[in-house]
Structure 1
Amino acid sequence: MTRLIALDTETTGLSPNRGDRIVEIGCVELIHMRKGATRQWFINPERPIPAEATRIHGITDEKVANEPIFRKIAEDFLAFIGSDQLVIYNAGFDLGFLNAELARIKRPLLDGSRVIDALMLARKRFPGAKADLDSVCKRLKIDNAHRKLHGALLDAELLAEVYVALNGGAQFAMDLTGGVEEVVVKVATTEQAVTVDVVRPVRVWPIAREEEQAHAAFLEFMQKEHGACLWTN
């Protein structure tokens, strides 16, 4: 089973190195490129949320005052993502925050080699164009009209749709047997080539019994009329 996790975070600011913390994590499971389970964690950041951050995601001190701190949700979060590949938009940002939180509780950091940066994929698909999530959604005809504010789960759900669309939808190519793709992931200042297993679901197109009978009758007619029929050999 090929399982990916589309992931997004909301934070108190832009820099974990200056003490900013995570206030929300959203995850959407993709199994064979189809949406599976979703998870959302609101987190008490143990520090005030600046007004400028609230204007972006709508999360206030009051909203997360009674939510668990990161340490309390870490096991649940890590169990959900497992060892599967993570799909993140602008991966350096989210990965930096997640690893800062994990380092704070002395847990192993998330390896950048397991991350697919969908921003890099979008820039490759639409070179020179605006590459923020809203612009890419519009270009791929993904409905994001409900995105009035940022939200980790909301953005992870849009990201999952974007990632599937960037890879051609549920069916990547005429070859349905699977394969690997290599993408370049930029984490912080390091670019890494990552090989990703791609499983292309076999699509079955059922036909009605009447159509099957009509097809068989036509082949029989061709055989009698011309003495041979390629499709019956």
Structure 2
Amino acid sequence: MTHILADDLVVVDFETTGLSPDNGDRAIEIGAVRLRNGQPVETFQALMNPGRRVNSFIEQYTGITNQMLADAAPNAEVMEAFLQFLGSDNLLAHNASFDKKFLDAEFLRIDRQYSGQFACSLLTSRRVFDDAPNHKLGTLVSFKNLHQSGNFHRALFDAQMTAKLWVSLLHEVRQQLAIDVIDLALMQTISKASRRDWQLQARKFLTYENAL
């Protein structure tokens, strides 16, 4: 059977005007890292002008100012370019439910769709790194001593750190389950398991896969 590998995907992160596109919030920056065999091979980054001003909290939180956005391409243009970058790859985000909402909303505005599946490094880390102080991206980067050089809450840097965290998660899963090849579906299974029995659920998944 065809395996969809967990270390071949596009890691994506959005900075936004607020928490929910259902409340009219829009994306203002996108950053992405393409992983092949767990190695970053290509990046995508762009500010985007949503056609509205951002409030002072967002400016301070992200460092993205209204002046910066005034010179940026409109959201529609940036999202068309990102769709070309993404192709048919699967996707990963830290707290994927947030980024997926904005990705879906921005693509809906331009009548575009993507074919990839999403994985979530936040949910997976809660199972695999359950001894971390918490599962915020910055905390996990420090907890795993991942090299960092940049500022959190900017889209490309967050995507790069999420990519490093994902590779660390894959390494831990390989070690604990004594396997070499990891399907994306296995990582999705782990993310949905309880903290107590994620290894049990993973082994059930592997047993089922090997039986096919």
- Normalized against structure 1, the TM-score is what? 0.71
User: Aligned pair 1:87/2:87, yes or no?
Assistant: no
Q: Deviations over 1:58-86 (max 9, x none)?
A: 00110010211111122210111111111
Q: Which amino acid aligns with 1:83?
A: S
Cα distance, 1:172 vs structure 2: 3.6
Cα distance, 1:153 vs structure 2: 0.2
Identity %: 31
Partner in structure 2 of residue 28 of structure 1:
33
The structure whose RCO (Cα within 8 Å, separation 6+) is larger is: 2
Structure 1 segment 1-233 matched on structure 2, within 5 A: 3-108=8-113, 110=114, 114-127=117-130, 129-144=133-148, 146-147=150-151, 149-168=152-171, 172-173=174-175, 175-176=179-180, 178-180=181-183, 181-184=185-188
Q: Which amino acid aligns with 1:69?
A: P
Taking the aligned partners of 1:164 and 1:184, their CA distance within structure 2 comes to 15
Taking the aligned partners of 1:77 and 1:114, their CA distance within structure 2 comes to 16
Give 5+ residue unaligned stretches, structure 1.
187-194, 196-233
Cα distance, 1:179 vs structure 2: 4.8
Partner in structure 1 of residue 209 of structure 2:
none
Aligned residues between the structures: 183
Structure ranking higher in strand proportion: 1
Query: Which 4+ stretches in 1 moved above 4 angstroms?
Result: 173-176
Structure ranking higher in helix proportion: 2
Give 5+ residue unaligned stretches, structure 2.
192-204, 206-212
- The 3-state SS of whatever aligns with 1:23 is strand
Larger Rg: 1
- Normalized against structure 2, the TM-score is what? 0.78
Cα distance, 1:184 vs structure 2: 3.2
Q: Which amino acid aligns with 1:134?
A: G
Q: Deviations over 1:154-195 (max 9, x none)?
A: 0001111000011117x945654x353513388xxxxxxxx9
Taking the aligned partners of 1:179 and 1:55, their CA distance within structure 2 comes to 39
